[in-house]
Structure 1
Amino acid sequence: MTEHFTGPPPVRLELNRVIDALSMGRSADAIESELVDVKEEPRRRGDRKEVLPGATTNEAAASYLAGELACLANSGGGAVVLGVADDGTVIGTQLDVEWLRHRIYELTDRKLTVTAAALLLRGERVLEIVAPAALEPIRFRGKIRHRVGKNCVEIDAATWAGTHQIRMGYDWSAQPSTRTLADVRVAAVEVARDFLLASGEAAAADLASASDRDLIRRLNLCADSGTLTNAGALLLCAGPAVIDYRRRDVSGGDAVTRINRSDRSVLEQLAQVIEAVRLHNPRVELDVRWVRGLTYRVPDLAAREALVNGITHRDWQSPTATEIEHVGDRYTVISPGGFIGGVGPDNIITHPSVPRYPQLAQTLAKLRIAERQGIGVDRMHRDMLALGLPAPVIEQLPGPAVRTTLIGGEPDHTWLELRERMHPANARDDLDFLLVLDTTARRGWISGPTAAAAMQRSRAELVV
């Protein structure tokens, strides 16, 4: 009934889109999404890949679908179209709907109840199976999995809980802490003002001129009672070392600089590490046609954005510090907590921003420390590729944690010369263009699918 008021749910709309595309002969690979998978029924092929007759029960199919649908449920819900091969061939299925629903329920420890219906697709019977959003983690064979892009990956219960809270609109950073304005460090407020003034923006300067109390309130970091939010307590009050920075001249060498200070606010620690990174990041000269000047071996804004992302998007329930290893021209940031909200290495450029802690992210953007949501990762890629340096590598590690690696060095003057000859001029800094150009230069060739993967877009999004 609620659909009459709110409209069809996103899964239903996406399912309709996929079925329409399949009816027109599109391949499954080209139309699957984060919400909808297209699957061939397992064990329906013979030794010579011929299609075997279907049956009303198929234990292998039920087991496979239980795992896939549990993954979709853990990710906020989704659907599977069963009976279509990867190339779009409709082979159909004869599985009994009620038998399949009951087996999935049993195989997921009686946690997942799906809806399923049969329909005709190009003359063959297929099933659409919809998994609702899970209210608690659903395990299959003892493991919790959720979607990262179009793939299912294993996560722990804490990561699932954090992602679930975000889907439900809960923001830990906006909740009241036990700290008050009396606990705020004067030095932290001055650092906040320094960041604002350094932006050179009139609105930021106006905010910086406010009194301490008004500045904190205008940043939405405290209530009228003077109680700080958790974001306010992190940014402005003394606490443990949350950043561990090490600078080494060579791999395996002793750390020439280490910053790992407690009894400081996060803002103070962040400002100190940003300055240290800049101090140990040598400059090199640019001299290509009419482009002349100095640049850092690791682009300054890319290095800063990697660090700030490692603070903004980390898991603040973890006691582990965000680690920065600055070895020669290699700059690595490891932050506790895995990817959330469907973001992963294969879509991090194009996926809408999903901050783990929205108020914390908004405050850092207001202070001009972080880029606007969804811009920072683009900035890292663009600044690295614009100089002919390798693209950032952003990956999830066991733990979980996210590691961002930037490899700097001398700008590639041949690359810069090529960019300067490109027309129109506004294309030279376009991120899609730089990603495709980089892929072409490394591979020696480019194709539609390769270009789509480089830009982290579907083939349907490419404009020919």
Structure 2
Amino acid sequence: MKSKSEIMDIINKLDDHIADDFEAQDLDFKQWNDRSREDNVKTMISYAVCMANGGGGSVVFGVADKVKGKDLALKGIPFDIDATILQKRIYEKTDPHITPSFEDLFVQDNKIRLLIMHIFPGMPPHTTTDGAATIRQGKDCLPFTGTLRRQMVDITGQMDYTEEIIYEDWKTLFSHSAMERVREIMSRERVDETLISLSDEDLLTAIGGLKGQHLTKGALLLVGKPEAISKIIPQHRWSFRKMISDTDYSHRDDGTQPIPLALYELERFISVDNPLVTIESGLVHPEFNTYPTIALREALLNAFGHRDYRMLGTVMLKQYKERLVLTNPGQFIGGITPQNILHHPPVARNNHLMDLLDRLKLVNRSNLGVKRIFKSLLIEGKEPPLYREVGNNIELTFIASPLEQSFQKLVQQISMKGVPVEVDHLLILQYLMRHEQIDTSTAGYITQRGTEQAKELLSGLMKNFDLIEPIGRGRGRYYTLSRYAYGLLQDSLRYERQQHLDKEAVKTRILSVLKDRDLTNAEVRQITGMDRRQVNAIIKEMASEGVKIVGHGRGAKYTINK
């Protein structure tokens, strides 16, 4: 928004410029319509919506914006216009309500009255009560379509609600218990001691949460008193439900505490029913929760850090007997979808809040949070998380999978080879544990990778780790866990059974072709992926099914008694 002195400086330049030259994202000039006062009110309502959606700004009424020369451009407005009535009309005709502030500016020896309408940043989308909405983009008010809204949030970052400054005494908003919790987390994450040793004020200033003795909204979400947050950011809320069924619950709790304290409360509720499994291993008996602490913490911080604070709603955690469901207001942004979230470059709706969380070591901004969630589950043999976009909310589900001790030992054994085990590898191995076979297309789908990348992953698991074996070739090729992998899983009988099933499948494939035509050894090798020796061996086994060799040498063919 522009001050009266800034606007006066522009007016003094109108002998050499037109007002349109100075219009910008936060400033516009409009000529007063002397023929219809009602049309002027409609224009004010429209510009109030436009500016509120576009981050706020000022509109100066009484100036012709395309006319050069101060005497010609300064048209003015009637002296009997009551700004209080205008303010009331704009409030009544906007949804959510917009309350502008007005200032008079008298020029040309007080002979001409200009009226400045200041619009504060709103929580888009604002519309007129008729449903119309525009948004300020540069000098223009454009229709505020869904696509434009998403593009604005995703690309320009002009609507970072958490970066806004709260012009109140920060000490009256500050929670010592929240700051104590922040310092505990910083200490646990081994943050630089020089940062931890700073006073509360210096620490908040150092991370960018305190600017000129005023907190940002992002900082308030971290260290604010619950009552202050409820007053200034009423959208912030967390809820917990212990669910009996999809419609009933046995326990509920809600709060408006700052994020670090909300995190503590939600983890505490989950821990009541997050069973531990103890694994005896020498003198050390490690314990494993049904829902790994790392996965829970990362998921909750992502929910608070990425939720849309312009929307009413709550970060909701529902605990069912067989699953956890976490939802937060807001949709995926920046091209992120449930199908590419694992590898998509990081995109933040609330850049300022995420910066604060990153500097305090509560989150990592290098897109590691989602991978940590996946890996902490997969490495224990548990099912991967499920992301969905449900209406205007993002939903994350954890399945209450049991600890697979044998799979965990397999991961430990291959980690000792010095080759890093990536999330993609774990996803493929977990899929094979449950489905026994995987092809390139399926590998690409579950790892959110392209076909060529999926081929490289499968090749790496085969050559670097000796964990999978190929069956067949060409489009019909698929992979199974290797004998070595089943050995690490202490399930060699399962491997033998799988090998038997695979051999039977190969025999069925050969027989189906032989019913139509004879086959050479080379053709069988192409169909099955076997070598010459393996083909000869399986053909001998199929003699009882009427398969025989006709001819000798290169002219030899396999046929079936018909």
Q: Which category describes the TM-score, using the shorter chain as reference length? A: 0.5 to 0.7
1:446 partnered with 2:471: no
**Following TM superposition, by how much is the alpha carbon of 1:422 offset from its aligned partner in structure 2, in angstroms?**
3.3
2:402 to 405, 410, 416: 410
- Aligned partner of 1:192 in structure 2 is 182
- Aligned partner of 2:329 in structure 1 is 336
Q: 1:432 to 1:287 in 2, by over 3 A?
A: farther
Separation of aligned partners in 2, 1:383 and 1:272: 22
**Following TM superposition, by how much is the alpha carbon of 1:405 offset from its aligned partner in structure 2, in angstroms?**
0.5
Separation of aligned partners in 2, 1:373 and 1:460: 25
Identity, % of aligned pairs? 23
1:363 partnered with 2:352: no
- What runs of 5+ residues in structure 1 fail to find an aligned partner? 1-135, 137-155
Separation of aligned partners in 2, 1:294 and 1:180: 46
**Following TM superposition, by how much is the alpha carbon of 1:304 offset from its aligned partner in structure 2, in angstroms?**
1.2
- Equivalent runs, 1:56-135 vs 2, <5 Å: none
| Number of residue equivalences | 304
**Following TM superposition, by how much is the alpha carbon of 1:298 offset from its aligned partner in structure 2, in angstroms?**
0.7
Q: Deviations over 1:48-107 (max 9, x none)?
A: xxxxxxxxxxxxxxxxxxxxxxxxxxxxxxxxxxxxxxxxxxxxxxxxxxxxxxxxxxxx
1:433 partnered with 2:420: no
- Aligned partner of 1:270 in structure 2 is 263
Report the secondary structure of 1:187's partner residue.
Answer: helix
Q: 1:158 to 1:366 in 2, by over 3 A?
A: farther
- Equivalent runs, 1:147-166 vs 2, <5 Å: 157=145, 161-166=149-154
Separation of aligned partners in 2, 1:212 and 1:186: 9
- Aligned partner of 2:372 in structure 1 is 379
Q: 1:423 to 1:219 in 2, by over 3 A?
A: closer
Q: 1:391 to 1:290 in 2, by over 3 A?
A: farther
The answer as to whether partners of 1:299 and 1:408 remain within 8 angstroms in 2 is: no
Q: 1:305 to 1:267 in 2, by over 3 A?
A: same
Separation of aligned partners in 2, 1:383 and 1:313: 21
**Following TM superposition, by how much is the alpha carbon of 1:378 offset from its aligned partner in structure 2, in angstroms?**
0.3
Q: 1:194 to 1:289 in 2, by over 3 A?
A: closer
AA at the equivalent of 1:227? H
The answer as to whether partners of 2:383 and 2:401 remain within 8 angstroms in 1 is: no
The answer as to whether partners of 2:263 and 2:297 remain within 8 angstroms in 1 is: no
Separation of aligned partners in 2, 1:160 and 1:376: 28
- Aligned partner of 2:198 in structure 1 is 210
1:236 partnered with 2:228: no
Report the secondary structure of 1:323's partner residue.
Answer: strand
1:255 partnered with 2:243: no
Q: 1:195 to 1:373 in 2, by over 3 A?
A: same
Structure 1 or 2, whichever has the larger Rg, is 2
The TM-score normalised by the length of structure 2 is 0.50
Report the secondary structure of 1:295's partner residue.
Answer: strand
Mean Cα displacement is larger for which, 170-179 or 303-312?
170-179
Q: 1:371 to 1:289 in 2, by over 3 A?
A: farther
- Aligned partner of 1:457 in structure 2 is 449
The answer as to whether partners of 1:325 and 1:331 remain within 8 angstroms in 2 is: yes
Separation of aligned partners in 2, 1:159 and 1:178: 33
- Equivalent runs, 1:340-351 vs 2, <5 Å: 340-351=333-344
The answer as to whether partners of 2:153 and 2:349 remain within 8 angstroms in 1 is: no
**Following TM superposition, by how much is the alpha carbon of 1:434 offset from its aligned partner in structure 2, in angstroms?**
0.2
Separation of aligned partners in 2, 1:420 and 1:373: 26
Q: 1:325 to 1:157 in 2, by over 3 A?
A: farther
The answer as to whether partners of 1:420 and 1:428 remain within 8 angstroms in 2 is: no
Separation of aligned partners in 2, 1:157 and 1:231: 27
Separation of aligned partners in 1, 2:387 and 2:328: 11
Q: 1:427 to 1:288 in 2, by over 3 A?
A: farther
**Following TM superposition, by how much is the alpha carbon of 1:160 offset from its aligned partner in structure 2, in angstroms?**
5.0
Higher helix share: 2
- Aligned partner of 2:286 in structure 1 is 293
Q: Deviations over 1:118-144 (max 9, x none)?
A: xxxxxxxxxxxxxxxxxx9xxxxxxxx
Q: Deviations over 1:378-426 (max 9, x none)?
A: 011111111111100011001x110000112420233234334436545
The TM-score normalised by the length of structure 1 is 0.60
The answer as to whether partners of 1:386 and 1:429 remain within 8 angstroms in 2 is: no
**Following TM superposition, by how much is the alpha carbon of 1:309 offset from its aligned partner in structure 2, in angstroms?**
1.0
**Following TM superposition, by how much is the alpha carbon of 1:251 offset from its aligned partner in structure 2, in angstroms?**
6.4
AA at the equivalent of 2:209? L
Separation of aligned partners in 2, 1:350 and 1:323: 26
AA at the equivalent of 2:216? T
Separation of aligned partners in 2, 1:367 and 1:189: 11
Q: 1:291 to 1:401 in 2, by over 3 A?
A: farther
1:284 to 274, 277, 285: 277
Separation of aligned partners in 2, 1:159 and 1:242: 27
**Following TM superposition, by how much is the alpha carbon of 1:278 offset from its aligned partner in structure 2, in angstroms?**
3.1
The answer as to whether partners of 1:298 and 1:329 remain within 8 angstroms in 2 is: no
**Following TM superposition, by how much is the alpha carbon of 1:158 offset from its aligned partner in structure 2, in angstroms?**
5.8
AA at the equivalent of 2:276? R
